[in-house]
Amino acid sequence: MESTALKKKRFNLLITITSVVIPIVVALLFAIKIPNVEPLSFLPPIYAAINGLTAVLLLTAVWAVKKGNQSLHQKLMTTNIILSLVFLVMYIAYHMTSDSTAFGGEGVVGYVYYFILITHIVLSIALIPLVLRTYSHAYLKDYISHKALARYTFPIWLYVAVTGVIVYLMISPYYVH
């Protein structure tokens, strides 16, 4: 039987590799435009809705664990990870088939938009290892470490989910249809 320490070491290596590879692959795929393909312009409201649903499920998951319902908490958090993967696939597909949309707001609104966008992007990248490490602690039944790390992961994930919706709402008037 593999020891917990060895499992943790393997998880950490996999998490580190994943946390580096995903942002690099996403950045590389952004540079690729699939030729002669209809832009997938229907995707942004869908992946914005996924962000909104993620925020609601994160809050529900915290409520569930505080009420002692670990099973519901686990199901909701697993669903959130799946939703995050679905979001990522849709986000990449949209950007591989569509030109980037410039934000048309000016003045203070522009500064607010870019502040939200930049913090959203930076924190979404930082969130990858946080989510995976938090989840791995629970998987390995190290609930003390899970709870300690979740105190940081939860508010960052919630911020990323909510600001994803805000960014969409702010940029959507400028999409070319």
Dump pLDDT digits (tens) for 77-107: 999 999 999 999 999 999 999 988 899 999 9
pLDDT for residue 2 is more than 80: no
- Residue 24 to residue 96: CA distance in whole angstroms: 15
pLDDT-derived band of residue 1, with 50, 70 and 90 as boundaries? low
CATH of residue 23: 1.20.120
CB 84, CB 132: distance < 8 Å: no
The reported pLDDT for the residue numbered 48 is 96
Q: Which long-range contacts (CB under 8 A, 24 or more apart) does 122-125 make?
A: 123/156, 123/159, 123/160, 124/160, 124/164, 125/23
Per the structure, the count of domains in the chain is 1
State both tokens at 98.
């569509």
Dump pLDDT digits (tens) for 102-149: 999 999 999 999 999 999 999 999 999 999 999 999 999 999 999 999
Dump pLDDT digits (tens) for 6-47: 989 999 999 999 999 999 999 999 889 998 889 899 999 999
Domain hosting 133: range is 4-174
Write the CB contacts of 129 (distance below 8 Å, at least 6 apart in sequence): 15, 16, 18, 19
CB 101, CB 117: distance < 8 Å: no
The reported pLDDT for the residue numbered 175 is 83
The reported pLDDT for the residue numbered 30 is 86
pLDDT for residue 177 is more than 70: no
Query: In the chain, what is the straight-line distance between the N-terminal and C-terminal CA atoms, in Å?
Result: 57
